[in-house]
Amino acid sequence: MAAQNGKDLLIKLDMTGAGQFETIAGLRATRISFNTESVDVTSLESSGGWRELLGGAGVKSASISGSGVFKDQNTDERARQIFFDAEVPNFQVIIPDFGTVEGAFQLTSIEYAGSHNGEATYELSMASAGALTFTAV
């Protein structure tokens, strides 16, 4: 697989709850992380004293983060609404030449910043709030 453009990793938000996904405008950097908690089942009988983990157990989660500049009033307003109303709408993350991850996420933080001679910027973080689906390219 050839190298991919970072700008092609997109975070899309369901704007209406009806599956109308729009890219969150102005993002310059995005990241998705997948996690699984391990369940330690090590006992005195574990071979050589090595740790043993229980396969298929533990809580799975994903987190998304992004940062950028304000460009689109609709997606900016929707993100603020989601945060203040504690909604958990569906998002899509497009991973170039890999696939699409879709599911409910809670917006866990929004940070705003600006400097005297620069643009206003924001950073957001989201945590998965249910089962996710993956559709390969």
pLDDT band with cut points at 50, 70 and 90 for residue 15: confident
- Level-2 CATH architecture, domain 6-136: Irregular (4.10)
CB 85 within 8 A of CB 126: no
In the predicted structure, residue 50 carries a pLDDT above the cut 70: yes
Choice between 2 and 105, residue whose per-residue pLDDT is larger: 105
71-130 pLDDT, tens digit per residue, is 778 888 888 899 999 999 999 999 988 999 999 999 999 999 988 998 888 899 999 999
Looking at residue 1, its pLDDT comes to: 62
Strand partners, 127: 63, 106
Name the residue ranges covered by the structural domains of the chain.
6-136
Give per-residue burial for 86-123: e unless 16+ CB within 10 Å, then b.
eebbbbbbbbeeeebbbbbbbbeebeeeeeeeeeebbe
User: What is the Cα–Cα distance from 83 to 137, expressed in whole angstroms?
Assistant: 31
